[in-house]
A and B are shown apart, each in its own frame.
Chain A
Amino acid sequence: MEDVQEITLLSFQIQEDTFAVNALKVDHILEVPENITPVPNAPEFIKGIINLHGNIIPVADMRIIMGKEDITSNQDNSIIVINPANNQDSRVGIMVDIVKEVIETKSSELKETVLDGKKGLIESFEGTLLINDEFIHIIDMNNLAEIIEK
């Protein structure tokens, strides 16, 4: 196939920043359920585990991973269940401030990510998209998975 690939992204907001993940690796978008079961002795960013259709899914708070101070919750908070390696074992929910939109674009539109300072624990991005004067940083799911795994 040709070099330029069509990509589908799902964007979301973490306070003032906008990020996106590869939508084809998103399994579900959920409202934050009432009871997330906390896991004792887990890292701070692990909110706990939830029951998703009979499977146990860990939930990580992206705001803590991104190094944000304010982690108060509101109604718009959502959990995006991502599946980086396409198997049950690699499914993880990431809690974000608000889910924004599905973006269809081409890989040629991506620019290299230049960030003003680090974004918490995240080490690498797949690129940055500029849409309507807004920067959207595309998260490297494998990097994210490794961080949560540690």
Chain B
Amino acid sequence: MLDKFKAKFVEESMDNLQDLEESLFLLEKDLENKELIERIFRAMHSLKGGGAMFGFNHLSDFTHHLETIFDWVRNNKLAVTSDLITLTFSAIDHIKNLIKTGDLTDEQELKGHNQFILRLQSVLSDSASTLSVHSTVDSQNINDEISESKTYLINFIPQEELLQNGTNPLYLLDDIHALGEAISIAYTHKVPSLELIDITANYCLWQILLNTSESLNEIKDVFIFVEDECELQIDLIADSNILQKPECIEIIKKARKGNSLLKIEDFQSLSQLKPSSQELESGEEKKKITAIKEHKISSIRVASHKIDELVTLVSELVTIQAQLSLYSESNEDPVIVSLSENIQKLSRQLRENAFDISLIPLQSELMRFQRLVRDLSKDQGKDIDFVIEGGDLELDKNIIEHLTDPLLHILRNSIDHGIELPEERISSGKSPKGTILFKAFHSGANVIIEVSDDGKGMDLEYIRQKAISKEIVDQNAVLTDKEVLDLLFVSGFSTKDAVSDVSGRGVGMDVVRRKIANIRGEVSIDTEKGKGTTITIRLPLTLSIIDGLLVKVGANQYVIPISAIDKIHALDPSQLKKSFNNVVVLDKEQIPYIDLRKVFNAPEVEHDVIQMVMIKAEDRITGVIVDSVIGEYQTVVKPLGRYLKKQEILSGATIMGDGTLAMVVDTSRLLMERKSKKVAG
């Protein structure tokens, strides 16, 4: 169970770190921005706290030192410099590592860790020697020995789900009343009209004026098990009992009548509090609440599997709705027909909505790219302007997950091989500063991502020679420019002779192409010597849904993506019998074919007519023989998961309307396997 909290902590910390990096980038451009400094400090603070709680001791200790630095910064005791930002960036990398690995055990790593801490400490001691440090006595010394009673205003705003989680708010109110003298006001203005009421939902919210001599913690403990299901704010409004004062009673009356919530300011005239101490008690609490509120307005966090579930349910709904319209058409009952049409409209909208939700902006990954460009260009003494266009473009989250690695690799190539050193650029008449443009945009049903640099471009002759020396092509082969560039995608081809730290670790464009192909995308290269290189990635909008043709092979059902299909042909069995070397002649053309029954080891059954699905790939047609064609089907593809990843011909499975499963055929894999003769024709 603790593991689950830990996992949650790790997830949240990664978010925190991303926020940190983002703020740091902005701070680099605006060194004195108070708001950013505060954000950075806050992110560090919660990392420290969470780390200690979940047993990440090294993390917590390390972040503590970092936090201290930024505490000094926000108190104007230390100035932000570019060095400090660089140090903080590398500290963030170290923190990431600590989150991934947990506490360090390796002695070498531990040594590095401790040295890093010393570096952080030296930042403070260096600055302390030039600045006289004021001892910071915590002014928040809360006086524990208050025996007098105080009056608090409690805002208790439960979520609608409160009752479903087994909490009876009336009990809680009882418990509050038991702490002292209390007046509670229930607000019912959120209760919807009768026909919309969900009897299991809670629509009420409460404000309670409480006079008690118990501590703030004691009051908070009343709500301990509902913390996550409500907004809670407790403010000290007076140092004495004001409940019986006529002014107070008047205020409460007004609030009850007008259904308008009490504010702390309402009690200002009544309170004998010095404003500063009021701030002191409620300050932190208030900040927390406002932070939560702001968050709520812009977005909510939903576990990604819940979204997957939603998409699945909606797709099942669409399937069932299709069955309903079929039935209503044959039934001719006008009521059912019109109902069915309405449901069809609604489920369309619902489907579009659900798919829209599962898209996330590319922005979320761009931070890593910015980091890479910044760090690498500094390392290599290159000056690079990284320009992003279309960062707000949205893509299926599954695509984005698989896109990051290839894009990182492409960017590395641009920095490492593309952009020249400043002096080199000047001598070839360019500006010393290079540019890498990252551009994402829609094009029809596709998304295009372009990464272009204004570096030295690729030398086609060099690539050709290299391919010849590696015996990838024959010396006498005549190749077009495009064919030469295609050589870069051949496995084992790497252009840089000296293996640099950056790219050329044996992985090259072939890996990029394969990874992009996994998410049904394509990669192409354009280059001009001396001018630069552009890598273009073309992607489908969504992975999870495809239009497919449902076919039957043996006892199983399979889905072939419509996008790969040219047409369906009916063959006479005799045509196959006459065929030779798995090639059949159709309309005087020779068509190679694959018999799926053999591929899937299904028994061969005699049919009167043989169904052949014609698949188009790279301008060539290949026939695929199945037992029968059932029909078109829009389908949600689910992955087969890690245990079945060896089944390369199958790219996933889909759940049919009746709950049974059909597997999705990856046609390009199927054709590739045929080429490599692994698959019998």
Contacts and interface: CB of A to CB of B under 8 A. Distances in A.
A149 B642 CA distance: 7
B602 A56 contact: no
Most buried by A among B316, B645, B649, B653: B653
Contacts of B514: none
Interface stretch (B150-158, B332-340, B446-454, B659-667): B659-667
Interface in A27-59: 35, 37-42, 46, 49-51, 54-58
A39 B7 contact: no
Interface in B298-355: 305, 308-309, 312-313, 316
Contacts of A35: 660
Contacts of A58: 640-641, 643-644
A53 to B, nearest CB: 8
B653 A89 contact: no
Measured as residues with beta carbon below 8 angstroms from the partner, the interface class of chain A is: 20 to 34
Given A37-B556, A56-B639, A51 B661 contact: yes
B556 A54 contact: no
A56 B641 contact: yes
B643 A37 contact: no
Interface string B585-602: 000000000000001111
B647 interface: yes
B287 to A, nearest CB: 33
Given A39-B650, A41-B601, A90 B661 contact: no
Interface in B608-653: 638-647, 649-650, 652-653
Given A40-B601, A58-B641, A89-B639, A49 B661 contact: yes
A58 to B, nearest CB: 5
A132 B638 CA distance: 45
Contacts of A60: 643
A57 B661 CA distance: 11
Contacts of A24: 1
A55 B600 contact: no
Contacts of B653: 37, 49, 56
Interface in A94-129: none
Measured as residues with beta carbon below 8 angstroms from the partner, the interface class of chain B is: 35 or more
Q: Is the interface of B mostly helix, strand, loop or mixed?
A: mixed
Nearest to A147: B643
A37 B641 contact: no
B647 A39 contact: yes
B644 A54 contact: no
Given A56-B641, A56-B661, A42 B655 contact: no
B313 A54 contact: yes
A50 B641 CA distance: 12
A41 B647 contact: yes
Contacts of B313: 54
Contacts of B643: 46, 58, 60, 92, 145, 148-149
A86 interface: yes
A51 B640 contact: no
A54 B4 CA distance: 23
Most buried by B among A24, A35, A50, A51: A51
B606 interface: no
A42 B661 contact: no
A63 interface: no
Q: Which 7 A-B pairs have the closest CB atoms?
A: A40-B600, A54-B312, A37-B661, A56-B638, A58-B643, A56-B653, A148-B643
Given A39-B650, A56-B639, A56-B641, 4 more contacts: A40-B600, A41-B600, A51-B659, A54-B655
19 contacts: A39-B647, A40-B601, A42-B646, A51-B661, A54-B313, A55-B638, A56-B639, A56-B652, A56-B655, A56-B661, A58-B640, A86-B7, A88-B641, A89-B639, A89-B642, A90-B642, A148-B643, A149-B642, A149-B643
